[in-house]
Amino acid sequence: MSYEGELTKISLAVDLAGLKLRSPIMNASGVLGISIPLLKRVYNSGTGAVITKSIGPLSRPGHPNPTMVHVEGGVLNSMGLPNPGVDYFSIEVKELSDAGVPVIASFFASTIDEFTDSSIKLERAGARALELNLSCPNVSGESGMCATDPYTTEKVTAAVKSVTKLPLFVKLSPNVTDIIPIAKAAEFGGADAITVTNTLKGMAIDIDFKKPILSNVTGGLSGPALKPVALRYVWEIYEAVKIPIIGCGGINNWRDAVEYLLAGSTALEVGTAIMTHGFEIFNEINEGISQYMVENKFNDLKEMIGLAHKS
Ligand SMILES: Cc1cc2nc3c(=O)[nH]c(=O)nc-3n(C[C@H](O)[C@H](O)[C@H](O)COP(=O)(O)O)c2cc1C
Number of domains in the chain: 1
Least confident of 26-40, 263-277, 296-310: 26-40
**pLDDT tens-place string over residues 221-236:** 999 999 999 999 999 9
pLDDT at residue number 76? 96
214 alpha-carbon distance from chain centroid: 23
Q: What is the pTM of this model?
A: 0.95
Ligand 1 center to residue 165 CA distance, Å? 26
**pLDDT tens-place string over residues 173-209:** 999 999 999 999 999 999 999 999 999 999 999 999 9
> Does position 250 have pLDDT exceeding 70, yes or no?
yes
Can you tell me which atom of ligand 1 is nearest the CA of 273?
26
What CATH number is associated with residue 25? 3.20.20.70
Asked about 136 being catalytic, the answer comes back as yes
Ligand 1 center to residue 199 CA distance, Å? 6
Number of Cβ atoms within 10 Å of the Cβ of 137:
11
- Rg of the chain, C-alpha, whole Å: 18
Cα–Cα dist 243/247, whole Å: 13
Q: Which of 14, 129, 136, 145 is catalytic?
A: 136
Q: Is the peptide bond before 224 cis (omega within 30 degrees of 0)?
A: no
> Does position 144 have pLDDT exceeding 60, yes or no?
no
Q: Where are the alpha helices (DSSP H) in 202-300?
A: 227-240, 254-263, 272-277, 280-295
* Nearest alpha-carbon partner for 139 in 158, 120, 122, 125: 158
pLDDT at residue number 146? 76
How sure is the predictor about 2, in pLDDT bands with cuts at 50, 70 and 90? Answer: very low
Average pLDDT on 115-143 reads 84
- Ligand 1 surroundings by CB, under 6 angstroms: 28-31, 53-54, 75, 77, 79, 81, 106, 133, 171, 198-199, 222-223, 226, 248-251, 270-273
Residue 293 to residues 42, 248, 255, Cα–Cα distance (Å): 24, 21, 12
Question: What is the domain extent for residue 6?
Answer: 2-309
Helix/strand/coil for 10? strand
**pLDDT tens-place string over residues 50-73:** 999 999 999 988 889 999 999 999
